[in-house]
Structure 1
Amino acid sequence: MKSSTPYGLGTPLVVETCQRIKIDDLLKQCRHEFKEAMMTSQLKMMGIDVELIAAETRFNGVRFWFKCPQCERRVGVLFKHPLSQAIGCRLCLNLRYRKQRYKGMIEGK
């Protein structure tokens, strides 16, 4: 006995009752997971054990941040202290920009 519907799937269903799998969503998810895996492996190769945080942007993008190992803040740049070899953000390592050293002083010409 042959089914009257194509491919022998039985009674035709409505599209709204089926699970929708969109290629764009799948690609976005794979790109996100791939990026995160690549960055994590790159950090491990450098000998740095730092957690990554993913945050969504306003236009459905993803932005990755470092989690400072000392204060656990979300930062874009981490530093390795030249003397103690500690890794942290600028505030935790008490680092200043060159211009901040002369704040309030009159610079010579």
Structure 2
Amino acid sequence: MPALATTHSLNDYLKLPISRYREQLKQGNAKYIEVSYTHRSKPYQYSIQLSKSACHYGGYRYWWLCPKCSQRVSVLYCAGMYVCRHCIGANYGSQLQQPIDRLFSRADAIRQRLGWQSGVAHGIDERPKGMHHSTYERLVNEHERVTAKIWQQTLDKLGCTS
């Protein structure tokens, strides 16, 4: 069973993606980035060490080295200091979803891909332009299976099943 909603999600923290410094990193061979900010009325100023790895088709990809554990990551999260998600101990939002919420999320994703409006009920719509017939049929069938599970879980919760 997923953790309760009282557990912190990564959405609760400010993010510092390495991509924010892409242009600055193109300039030269950086070993660290200086950060300066205020968090909860307390000023912070320090440097975060960088690492880089070679890409298959040339060039390099830069990574943060977490100031706390030195793990190589692409995003740091602000918990006073910027640290990796492992040091914060927070989960992704999807890890905190209950099983019924996962079903609703999957149904919404399918509806969006098919160009249908949100909601459990839908009419027979046309296949989206450019979508292969077999893909359309597979998504429609999956949507029917997911909505059937949603209805079944709802009825089970209400005690309406025999």
Compute the TM-score of the two structures, normalised by the length of structure 1. Answer: 0.52
- Corresponding residue pairs, total: 72
**Which residue in 2 is equivalent to 1:86?**
81
* Identical-pair percentage: 24
Which of 32, 35, 46 aligns to 1:44? It is 35
Which structure features the higher share of strand residues?
2
CA deviation map 1:72-107 (0-9, x unaligned): 1110000012xxx1321111101112221125x323
Q: Distance in 2 between matches of 1:98 and 1:32?
A: 32
2:68 paired residue among 47, 67, 70:
70
Q: How does 1:1-109 map to 2 (within 5 A)?
A: 34=28, 36=30, 40=33, 43-46=34-37, 47-81=45-79, 85-103=80-98, 105-107=99-101
Q: Which runs of 5+ in 1 are unaligned?
A: 1-30
- State TM-score, norm by structure 2: 0.37
**Displacement after TM superposition at 1:54 (Å):** 1.6
Structure 2 distance, partners of 1:89, 1:70, is 8
- Per-residue displacement from partner, 1:10-49 (whole Å, max 9, x unpaired)? xxxxxxxxxxxxxxxxxxxxx8662627x72xx3345342
- Structural RMSD (CA): 2.8
Q: Tell me, in whole angstroms, the C-alpha distance in 2 between the residues paired with 1:56 and 1:33.
A: 17
Which amino acid in structure 2 is aligned with residue 87 of structure 1? Y
Letter matched to residue 57 of structure 2: F
- Partner Cα distance (2:100, 2:35) in 1: 45
Structure showing greater Rg: 1
How many angstroms does 1:52 deviate by?
Answer: 0.5
Q: Provide the rounded CA distance (Å) in 2 between the counterparts of 1:45 and 1:70.
A: 17
Task: Confirm or deny: 8 A CA contact 1:32 1:62 kept in the other structure.
Answer: no
Q: Provide structure 2 residue ranges, at least 5 long, that are not aligned to the other structure.
A: 1-24, 38-44, 105-162
**Cα pair 1:50 1:67 within 8 Å, conserved:** yes
Please state whether the residue corresponding to 2:87 is helix, strand or coil: coil
